[in-house]
Amino acid sequence: MGKKFLIVAVVVGVAVLFVSAGLYAGTEVKDLIPMNNKAYKKHEESIYTFKHKIHMTEYAEKYPDLYQLGCGECHHEQTEDKKKSIPLKDLKEGDEVKNCIECHKIAAYIATKERKKKKLKKKDVIRDYHANAVHANCSICHRKYNKKMKLKSKDKGYAPTKAKCKACHPKKK
Ligand code: HEC
Ligand code: HEC
Ligand code: HEC
Ligand code: HEC
């Protein structure tokens, strides 16, 4: 093997690394994920650090009825027409996972009032807006959990639904 080939191979390898980092995807399963998506020009709310590991291990083992789709409760692919989600039920550690922003593309949050004023459907806003998609994901499961445990919003242990902004964003940035 020539020296020239080796150099080319190294350069290509490094380029591939950069390209994949730029694709907003990853295989590393982090314990804590600071939700500080770079697609936002500016974060208006304080950055929430998501406890990924406890959600995918401890909570999943403790509440199997809330995790019937496994990792697919939060991670999905989409149909070819990009209209429907396909839960990634068989996802496992080490698999490539796309960042939510790759499909829920608009880096912003549309509040309910604003959505109604603009006559947008809730479903379409979740489909298009990143923060609305993330909020919906957390809230759908937390609502089921609170109902199951008969927790009211002032109770200790209440899993925060979207309405509880301060539970996740204690202050404005
Ligand atoms: C309760 C929801 C939830 C569950 C359950 C969950 N994840 Fe995640 N995961 C997330 C969120 C939210 C992110 C951050 C995504 C983003 O920033 O766009 C993430 C990120 C990741 C990433 C990193 C992607 C990157 O951009 O670097 C990997 C890998 C991953 N998850 C794998 C898994 C696997 C494997 C499982 C199942 C064993 C799992 N997750 C279960 C919510 C979840
Ligand atoms: C490969 C593209 C893609 C990725 C990546 C993706 N989504 Fe979706 N998501 C979709 C599509 C398509 C829909 C379906 C929209 C509809 O049914 O109106 C959807 C629907 C949803 C919904 C509505 C309920 C449901 O499950 O259908 C939520 C909530 C959601 N996504 C949150 C997330 C979160 C959080 C992440 C990152 C952890 C994520 N999505 C990653 C494409 C994607
Ligand atoms: C598939 C179900 C599910 C999804 C999706 C989910 N959670 Fe949770 N979460 C739980 C359960 C169950 C608890 C309560 C566990 C307990 O107290 O035993 C919880 C508790 C919490 C708590 C309170 C306890 C703590 O860790 O501080 C926070 C905050 C939280 N989740 C954040 C989030 C965020 C942010 C998202 C969305 C990115 C999310 N969760 C999505 C299941 C889920
Ligand atoms: C369960 C936790 C949780 C709750 C409750 C919650 N958020 Fe969020 N919010 C998040 C996460 C996670 C993101 C994604 C940030 C990212 O990936 O960069 C986000 C993103 C946002 C963004 C876009 C990023 C920014 O800072 O500008 C806004 C605005 C926002 N939330 C406002 C609100 C408001 C207003 C409420 C109450 C009506 C609320 N959130 C409730 C977790 C939460």
Per residue in 50-105, pLDDT tens? 999 999 999 999 999 999 999 999 999 999 999 999 999 999 989 999 999 999 99
pLDDT at 17 over 60: no
CB atoms within 10 A of CB 88: 19
Does 156 contact ligand 3 (Cβ within 6 A)? no
Decide whether any atom of ligand 3 lies within 6 Å of the 78 Cβ: no
State if residue 100 touches ligand 3 by the CB under 6 angstroms criterion.
Answer: no
pTM score: 0.92
Residues near 48 by Cβ (< 8 Å), separated by ≥ 6?
34, 35, 168, 169
Name the residue of 35, 71, 91, 140 to mutate for ligand 1: max ligand atoms within 8 A of Cβ.
71
